[in-house]
Structure 1
Amino acid sequence: SIWELFDILQKLGGKNFNYSFGPWRPGDQKVYISNIGRAKKDFKWSPAVSPKEGIERLYNWIVQNKNLILSAGVFKPR
């Protein structure tokens, strides 16, 4: 869930960040459930890492490659 993602990122970064959710808008999904059953069946695929481990790996890669990311011009440094 988005709450789990925020919790993992806050623990990895060592600080809390502020976020808020606005009111529901027309078309917003109130419930979303991922199902990888089709990928498992059709492609004989299943994930090799947990969502938590994947988030940790991505976070660490971003930290280690900060200069590369900034040099791409996609994000501006704070």
Structure 2
Amino acid sequence: FEILEKLAGKKFNYKFGPWRPGDQKIYISDITRAKKDFTWSPKISPKQGVKKLHNWISQNKTLIKKAGVFKK
């Protein structure tokens, strides 16, 4: 959320609900095997990816509203 808040220039009001059955409580990304098995490495950083997503959402608000992604 920190990266998104910086990109948007505002604080977001969010809260976490209770854990649901099947929720993954810990998630750690490890691309070591993908690098080894597929000779793959990411082309952009996580921060750049979030920025690209933010820009896309900003440019496609009408499409997103039609899809009913956000409550507002």
Name the TM-score, length of structure 2 as normaliser.
0.75
Give 1:61 shift. Answer: 0.6
* Distance (Å, rounded) in 1 between the aligned partners of 2:61 and 2:16: 28
Displaced runs of 4+ in structure 1, greater than 3 A? 20-31
Q: Which runs of 5+ in 1 are unaligned?
A: 1-5
Q: Percent identity?
A: 64
C-alpha distance in structure 2 between counterparts of 1:76 and 1:69, whole Å? 8
Root-mean-square deviation (CA, aligned residues, Å) is 2.4
Instruction: Flag the 1:46–1:70 CA change in 2: closer, same or farther, 3 A.
Output: same
Relative to structure 1, the CA distance from residue 58 to residue 42 in structure 2 (aligned partners, 3 Å threshold; closer, same or farther) is same
User: What amino acid is aligned across from residue 69 of structure 2 in structure 1?
Assistant: F
Count how many residue pairs are aligned between Structure 1 and Structure 2.
Answer: 72
Instruction: Point out which structure has higher relative CO (alpha carbons under 8 A, 6+ apart).
Output: 2
Q: What is residue 75 of structure 1 aligned with on the other side?
A: 69
Partners of 1:48 and 1:7 in 2: CA distance: 22
Q: Can you list the C-alpha shifts for 1:9-37, whole angstroms capped at 9, x where unaligned?
A: 11111111223345667776554321101
1:47-66 equivalence runs, <5 A:
47-66=42-61
